Amino acid sequence: MDVLVSEVGPRDGLQSLGVTMPTAAKIAWIRALAAAGVKEIEVGSFVNPRLLPQMADTGEVVKAARDIAGLEVMALVPNMKGARLAVAAGAPKINIPVSASQAHNMANVRMTCEQGIEAVAEICRYRDSLPESARIGVEVGIASAFGCTREGRIQEDWVMEMALRLVKAGADTVGLSDSVGYANPAQVKRMFLRLRKEIGGHAGGAHLHNTRGQGLANVVAALDAGVTTFDSSLGGIGGCPYAPGATGNIVTEDLVFLLESMGLDTGIDFNALLRARDVLQQALPDVELYGSSPAAGLTKGFAYANPSRGFDPEPAKAVNQCDL
Ligand code: ZN
């Protein structure tokens, strides 16, 4: 596998929706994603259920997802309380968001950026105190790393300083998140190259949103900078309640098509991904799903980057039969 596609729909996607997906439907969806070859899924977040009732069943979802062979299960954790809940539920890996924007971090988790870094240090000390078999992986995503709806431009020097401090705090990896779709390809390439220079092997993946249609262009720029992990959500669900028609995370189906077309093995079967999309749509019939490749299907003559995987390369749907 060349690139890890980390599915965040069950967390990032669902938490932005006004509806709550029933637990059994979430588990069926996660199973369908894993059956398509998705290797890592962020299945929920351990946040106050009064603030995000959509995520109240995360403990149960983590437990069910852990039984799926070969799947790396992740959960988002905003603070120490969430970390304890994640460990209790048996989550092997957690993702802690810390924003580079003071205003965003305050609104998101009621902490300054510095307090957010200290919370990561506290969680890492807790991790280190656990018996070796129970030690969780700790990923940090620097949110609003490319710009913020509240503060506008974010200083790149500050983002890099945060990344260094987060590694010192004990994070295994530190990635960069374009939480609000502000990034452009030149900036993405520049910042990920610099991130690798600053923190070496601790440099994490890219979490990109497609709010302004720049998502896949930013993926290609990040690939040029050596990034090999990308977050995405099936059907691009999520969006922003304040920007009608704005899609959420980059679309998993389009990301997989892009990567495989470029000769980069994801281990994911596109047609099986479409079956997972059907599972999602049936569970949430009123939610709009995004993506271009699900409607158009695979191209004629399409070949997976690793042909020995034996996926069916036939076009998924008979469309685009126009002869003109
Ligand atoms: Zn996001």
Residue 12 Cα to ligand 1 middle (Å) = 5
Domains and CATH numbers, the chain: 4-320 (3.20.20.70)
Give pLDDT, residue 94: 98
Q: pTM of the predicted model, to two decimals?
A: 0.94
Q: Is 322 labeled as catalytic in the residue annotation?
A: no
**Closest to 4 (Cα-Cα) out of 249, 257, 267:** 267
Residue 104 Cα to ligand 1 middle (Å) = 13
Q: Which residues of the chain have pLDDT under 50?
A: 318, 323
Give pLDDT, residue 241: 55
Residue 48 Cα to ligand 1 middle (Å) = 18
Residue 131 Cα to ligand 1 middle (Å) = 32
Q: Which of 113, 124, 240, 322 is catalytic?
A: 240
Residue 208 Cα to ligand 1 middle (Å) = 7
